[in-house]
Amino acid sequence: MDTLTIRDLAIDLPQLHDDELTPVQHLDTDADRLSLISYAVSSLKQHTLSRTQVFDTRLHGITAERANLDNLRMSSVEVSRCDLASLTFTASRLTRVRFTDCRLLGARLSDLTLENVVFERCRFDYATFDNVTAKGPAAFAGCSLVESEFTGCDLSGVAFDDCALRSTTFGPGTYKGTDLRDNDLTAITGALNLRRVVINHHQLTDLSTILADELGITFADDDR
């Protein structure tokens, strides 16, 4: 099985073979199961997919306005170069799913379970993550998370690698072993919640400054 290694984290990737995939022109939104397909279209006005199992599938180049995904079971799926602005993605489980070069601006992701999931070079600016739980390896690699927000999430062991975290909010949640090494943490919000994360020594100064600000600490003039 192919794996992607990010620092100490090994993520199992989807295993798809082109000769086993059937190209399709549309998705059957009423199907209970989608498997062994390759789907690529230029634009969808709106798309809803609910209570469906999506296995061994490739989705590429899709543009959808305000797509709604609900109660999905995704396993061994590749999603690449898709523009899913304002996506609503809820109550689903993702296993061995790889998102690459996708735009998810303003997406709302809630009650998701992730296991062997990687987001590579994806844009999550202004997105909200609510009650997202990592049950296995998961990572954000080279992603933009500007002004995004994590609330009530369990990101234990999740790796953030070379991500843009400007004005990213880490709300109350579980961050045991969350790997934030080598990311710029100078402009994040919610440092008080980042208990038991993993950082580099040089990042301690950045977090200390943010913590002082969040705690309302003032510094006396040493010359007096």
pLDDT band at 46 (very low <50, low <70, confident <90, very high): low
* pLDDT, mean of residues 41-59: 83
List, in sequence order, every residue forming a beta bridge with 127; answer none if it has no partner: none
Of residues 167 and 65, more confidently modeled:
167
**Which residue, 198, 165, 173, is CA-closest to 110?**
173
Q: For residue 138, what are the contacts with CB-CB under 8 A and spacing of at least 6?
A: 11, 114, 115, 116, 117, 118, 155, 157, 158, 159
Phi, psi of 181 (to 5 degrees): -60, 140
Cβ atoms of 126 and 149 within 8 Å: the answer is no
Query: What is the rounded distance in angstroms from the CA atom of residue 191 to the CA atom of residue 183?
Result: 14
Global pTM value: 0.92
Query: Which contiguous run of DSSP H or E holds residue 121?
Result: none
- Mean pLDDT rounded to a whole number for the chain: 92
**Is it the case that residue 213 has pLDDT exceeding 60?**
yes
Could you give the domains of the chain?
3-214 (2.160.20.80)
Cβ atoms of 177 and 157 within 8 Å: the answer is yes
Q: For residue 8, what are the contacts with CB-CB under 8 A and spacing of at least 6?
A: 179
Please give the share of the chain, as a percent, with pLDDT higher than 90: 72
Cβ atoms of 129 and 108 within 8 Å: the answer is no
**Is it the case that residue 224 has pLDDT exceeding 80?**
no
Q: What is the DSSP letter of 45?
A: S
Classify each residue of 107-141 as buried b or exposed e, where b means 16 or more C-beta atoms within 10 Å of its C-beta. Answer: bebbbbbbbbbbbbbbbbbbbbbbbbbbbebbbbb
pLDDT attached to residue 5: 97
pLDDT band at 219 (very low <50, low <70, confident <90, very high): confident
